[in-house]
Amino acid sequence: MLTVTDVKKSFQSNEVIKGVTLTVKKGESFGLLGPNGAGKSTLISMICGLIPYEGGEILINGKLVGKHHKETKQMIGVVPQDIALYPTMSALDNLLFWGKMYGLSGKAAKTRAKEVLELVGLTGRAKERIETFSGGMKRRINIGAALMHEPQLLIMDEPTVGIDPQSRNHILETVKSLNEQGMTVIYTSHYMEEVEYLCRRIAIMDEGKLIASGTKKDLANRLAGGTVLKIAVDTVRPQFIEQLKAMDGVEKVIVLPENEIDVHMESKMETVSDVILLASRSSVAIHNMQLQEANLETLFLQLTGRSLRE
Amino acid sequence: MKKILSICLFEIKRTFKKKSSIVVMLGMPLLFTFLFGTVFGSDADVSFRIALVDEEQSTLSKYIAQQLMKDEMIIYELVSADVAEEQLSGNEVQGTMTIEKGITEKLRDNEPVIHFQPTAGLATAPLVEQQVNQAIQGVDIYVAAAQVGSSYLDESWESVFGRLIENEVKIQVWTEQKTGISTGNPMMGVSYSSAGFSIMFVMIMMLSMTGTLIEARQVGIWSRLFTTPVTRFQVLLGYFLSFFIVGWIQFFLLILLSSTLFGVYWGPPGALLLLITSLLLCVVGLGMAIASFVKTVEQQNAIGTLVIISTCMLGGVYWPISMVPDVMQKIANFVPQTWAMEGFTTLITEGGTAGDIMMPLFVLLGFAVVFLSIGLSRMKYA
């Protein structure tokens, strides 16, 4: 469905996309994870044909993005990070307008708008102005506008930013259902749990590069340790850190801001007691301690030394 | 084409859904037309009242009085010197105007022939003096012509002058044909205000409409539009058409309402159509040019309003341009409102044809080309 090969992009002298390659198969749900500034939105903008790319190629169903504008744009539906709707117009008016931009007209547009309103659960509020909607409802119509022309590839750029849990669940369920019906989905977010729930394959981006990609299982296998012991201490002594790294069962030690330390380990109980003992011997006071199963967040931290939400 | 029309119709629908649009489009211009029209109008309840005293009582002084009384902005009452003084002290008039004895000599020696005494603190005294000076200048031309004529015809200049003013209408027509400059009365009252305030509020409306370009960019609508299979050309043309059509609807309704409510005659429809179309192109271009320099709708409104109000002052939208000093009149040639007002004046007062307003049409189209070039070349799409 989508093939991105060695794509690059610079803004003035700043290279923001450094040779990204990825493939999304038809009917797949693909997650793109990364912190703010990783280059996700730039990559999405290039796939949508909003900004030109400088090297490599992007193909949608075999059509080159940038050359076959009409065909590639007609195949995709884009849910932008912003609520790109007309606030003084009704939900129905907005859906009809965006439908017309994709070539729908008359009765077909009206019928499809009704279906979309039902899909996003806002049939009863079709004639109300967008400006009267809650943040979650606006997000749902924002998604609906991208679904008007029944795209083959749905690209969602952080579609759940700043909304209530109920709307978030509704959106996640809607996207899951659309994917189950055969729609290919690219979902970008820095909410790891959303990507884990929705996507079969995931790519992690940082500083303009893909630093890991694969199925959830593939990525889990790359983790240095299955469990993470998160400890908060009064002071981080270099000698204590060195001794931690040298301990049996410890795979990796990451020092975080505010005197927090992540200890990636293979076994649990023995190592935990050893860590406590070592802290006591090194005169390091432990304020807080937490055991966490490794996940994508942990992997990202392992790979970059930074949190996804930074 | 369908997509261009969809964008255009959607924008028009959006504009008319806002109640504030109706107020700016129709409410405000009609209110201002009524207020200013009655202040400056011939049928005004409020106007300048001046007591006029003719001390010389000659053909020339009578002619000067007659010229002064043509002014629709000032109501003159021909009275004796005593009555004039009484009226001034009783604040019944805003001033006295005395045509002093020895006009011929004074005109020859370039000395003032009229003495104007305003009431204390009359803020509009310079305005009245300006009007008086204009009337005197008109007389001066006839006196000079009579003096030159008398040396050729071997007649007294008074006799030549008498014959000249008897044929005043014929001379004016001949002068207009030869010079192309109108010597008739300026457009005044509700007609003037209708044309002026229509221009100003159409400009304000178009400023608000072109602000939608910035709004669409700010909230991400343009970025989203360009992910759909529409081109920049289609989007821009859709927006441009909507601005144009709304401007046209506004002008049409203002013409209809001002004709019905105030009895304004706007001139022949064909020429009017051309003038309004040129003006709209120019105004939409100005709005797009301003939009290309600013980042937010608030900046667009602040800067745009400043530009519109100041250029309307310069361009004779609020008061006849002849009332301002010569330097200002020269500067006024560089604002589009001057040319629009000139076009409307020709159509309204003289019922002119398209041929009569060629100059204003070309200048307005020239402004449109400049503004649109700036706006389109600097337009930011995302």
B177 has a pLDDT exceeding 60: no
- pLDDT category of residue B45 using cuts at 50, 70 and 90: very low
CA B264, distance to chain mean position in Å, is: 15
* Best A74, A79, A100 residue to mutate vs chain B (most B CBs within 10 Å): A100
Any B CB within 8 A of A153 CB: no
The pLDDT of residue B159 is 77
* Best B14, B15, B227, B235 residue to mutate vs chain A (most A CBs within 10 Å): B227
CATH number for B75: 3.40.190
3-state secondary structure at position A17: strand
Contact B42/B189 with Cβ under 8 angstroms?
yes
Contact B368/B280 with Cβ under 8 angstroms?
no
Q: Does domain A224-293 have CATH number 3.30.70.100?
A: yes
Q: Is there a contact between B221 and A84 if contact means CB atoms under 8 Å apart? A: yes
Do B322 and B371 share a domain, yes or no?
yes
Q: Percent of chain B beyond pLDDT 90?
A: 9
> What are the chain A neighbours of B3 within 8 Å (beta carbons)?
100-101, 103
The pLDDT of residue A129 is 93
B305: its two tokens: 């309003």
- Among residues B144, B179, B214, the one where a domain terminates is B179
B176 has a pLDDT exceeding 80: no
Q: Is there a contact between B2 and A105 if contact means CB atoms under 8 Å apart? A: yes
Distance from CA of A28 to the nearest CA of B (A): 21
Question: What is the mean pLDDT of the segment spanning A287-307?
Answer: 74
Any A CB within 8 A of B18 CB: yes
Do B118 and B236 share a domain, yes or no?
no
Q: Positive or negative CA dihedral for B334, B337, B338, B344?
A: positive
Least confident of A233-242, B109-118, B202-211: B109-118
Q: Is there a contact between B224 and A49 if contact means CB atoms under 8 Å apart? A: no
Q: Which residue, chain included where needed, has tokens 């949508």?
A: A48
The 3-state secondary structure of A204-228, one letter per residue: EEECCEEEEEEEHHHHHHCCCCCEE
A261-297 residues labelled b (16+ CB within 10 A) or e (exposed): bbbbbeeeeebbebbeeebeeeebeeeeeeeeebbbb
- Give the side-chain half-sphere CA count within 13 A for A69: 11
The pLDDT of residue A294 is 66
Question: What is the mean pLDDT of the segment spanning A83-100?
Answer: 92
Residues B189-226 have pLDDT tens digits of 677 777 888 888 888 888 888 888 888 888 889 889 99
Any A CB within 8 A of B381 CB: no
Residues B319-374 have pLDDT tens digits of 777 677 778 788 888 988 888 888 888 887 767 788 888 999 999 999 999 999 99
**Distance (Å, rounded) from C-alpha B15 to C-alpha B243?**
10
Mean pLDDT, rounded, of chain B? 79
Distance from CA of B214 to the nearest CA of A (A): 13
- Bigger pLDDT: B242 or A213? B242
The 3-state secondary structure of chain B, one letter per residue: CHHHHHHHHHHHHHHHHCHHHHHHHHHHHHHHHHHHHHHHCCCCCCCEEEEEEECCCCHHHHHHHHHHHCCCCEEEEECCHHHHHHHHHCCCCCEEEEECCCHHHHHHCCCCCEEEEECCCCCCHHHHHHHHHHHHHHHHHHHHHHHHHHHHHCCCHHHHHHHHHHCHHHHHHHHHHHHCCCCCCCCCHHHHHHHHHHHHHHHHHHHHHHHHHHHHHHCCHHHHHCCCCCCHHHHHHHHHHHHHHHHHHHHHHHHHHHHHHHCCCCCCHHHHHHHHHHHHHHHHHHHHHHHHHCCCHHHHHHHHHHHHHHHHHHCCCCCCHHHCCHHHHHHHCCCHHHHHHHHHHHHHHHCCCHHHHHHHHHHHHHHHHHHHHHHHHHCCCC
Do B134 and B282 share a domain, yes or no?
no
> What are the chain B neighbours of A113 within 8 Å (beta carbons)?
none
> What are the chain B neighbours of A105 within 8 Å (beta carbons)?
2
Closest residue of chain B to A99, computed from CA coordinates:
B228
Question: What is the mean pLDDT of the segment spanning A301-310?
Answer: 64
The pLDDT of residue B361 is 93
**Distance (Å, rounded) from C-alpha B24 to C-alpha B256?**
16
> What are the chain A neighbours of B219 within 8 Å (beta carbons)?
82-85, 87
Residue A165: count other Cβ atoms within 10 Å of its Cβ: 9
A30: closest CA among A57, A2, A50? A2
Q: Is there a contact between B10 and A82 if contact means CB atoms under 8 Å apart? A: no
Do B250 and B358 share a domain, yes or no?
yes
B124 has a pLDDT exceeding 70: no
Q: Where are the domains of chain A?
A: 2-220, 224-293
- pLDDT category of residue B58 using cuts at 50, 70 and 90: confident
B223: its two tokens: 């970025």
Q: How far is CA B28 from CA A182, B36, B177, in A?
A: 56, 12, 39
Question: What is the mean pLDDT of the segment spanning B117-142?
Answer: 69
Rg (Cα) of chain B, in Å, rounded? 25
Least confident of A205-219, A288-302, B274-288, B342-356: A288-302
The pLDDT of residue B191 is 73
Contact B238/A108 with Cβ under 8 angstroms?
no
Do B26 and B171 share a domain, yes or no?
no
Architecture per CATH, domain A2-220, reads as 3-Layer(aba) Sandwich (3.40)
Do B104 and B202 share a domain, yes or no?
no
Partner-chain residue, chosen from A84, A89, A93, that has the shortest CB–CB distance to B223: A84
The pLDDT of residue B169 is 56
- Among residues B179, B204, B229, the one where a domain terminates is B179
Mean pLDDT, rounded, of chain A? 86
Closest residue of chain B to A74, computed from CA coordinates:
B229
Structural domain including B105 reads: 48-179
**Distance (Å, rounded) from C-alpha A277 to C-alpha B272?**
94
Do B80 and B163 share a domain, yes or no?
yes
Partner-chain residue, chosen from B17, B18, B228, that has the shortest CB–CB distance to A73: B228
The pLDDT of residue B127 is 65
> What are the chain B neighbours of A100 within 8 Å (beta carbons)?
2-3, 6
Cβ contacts from A onto B, under 8 A: 69
The pLDDT of residue B43 is 45
> What are the chain A neighbours of B220 within 8 Å (beta carbons)?
80-84
Any A CB within 8 A of B220 CB: yes
- Bigger pLDDT: B182 or A300? A300
> What are the chain B neighbours of A102 within 8 Å (beta carbons)?
228-229
B17 has a pLDDT exceeding 60: yes
Least confident of A100-104, A171-175, A209-213: A209-213
Total domains, chain B:
2
Question: What is the mean pLDDT of the segment spanning B62-66?
Answer: 81
Which residues in chain A (91-130) have CB-CB distances under 8 A to chain B? 93, 97-98, 100-103, 105
- pLDDT category of residue A187 using cuts at 50, 70 and 90: very high
B129 has a pLDDT exceeding 60: yes
A223: closest CA among A301, A159, A152, A289? A301
- pLDDT category of residue A97 using cuts at 50, 70 and 90: very high
A21 has a pLDDT exceeding 80: yes
Q: Is there a contact between A80 and B229 if contact means CB atoms under 8 Å apart? A: no
Q: Is there a contact between A84 and B224 if contact means CB atoms under 8 Å apart? A: yes
Q: Is there a contact between A80 and B220 if contact means CB atoms under 8 Å apart? A: yes
Instruction: Provide DSSP, A42-108.
Output: HHHHHHTTSS--SEEEEEETTEETTTSHHHHHHHEEEE-SS--S-TTSBHHHHHHHHHHHTT--HHH
B105: closest CA among B94, B97, B113? B113
Q: How are beta strands A14-24 and A29-33 bridged, if at all? A: unpaired
Do B322 and B216 share a domain, yes or no?
yes
Least confident of A157-166, A201-210, B34-43, B76-85: B34-43
Do B110 and B214 share a domain, yes or no?
no
- Among residues B119, B144, B179, the one where a domain terminates is B179
Q: Positive or negative CA dihedral for B37, B40, B41, B45?
A: positive
Burial of B2 (0-12, 13-18, 19+ CB in 10 A): exposed
Q: Is there a contact between B17 and A88 if contact means CB atoms under 8 Å apart? A: yes
Q: Is there a contact between B227 and A93 if contact means CB atoms under 8 Å apart? A: no
Any B CB within 8 A of A78 CB: yes
> What are the chain B neighbours of A145 within 8 Å (beta carbons)?
224
Interface predicted TM-score of the whole assembly (ipTM), two decimals: 0.77
Any B CB within 8 A of A197 CB: no
- Bigger pLDDT: B245 or B157? B245
Q: How far is CA A212 from CA A201, A302, A309, B106, in A?
A: 11, 11, 17, 99
The pLDDT of residue B251 is 85
Any A CB within 8 A of B4 CB: no
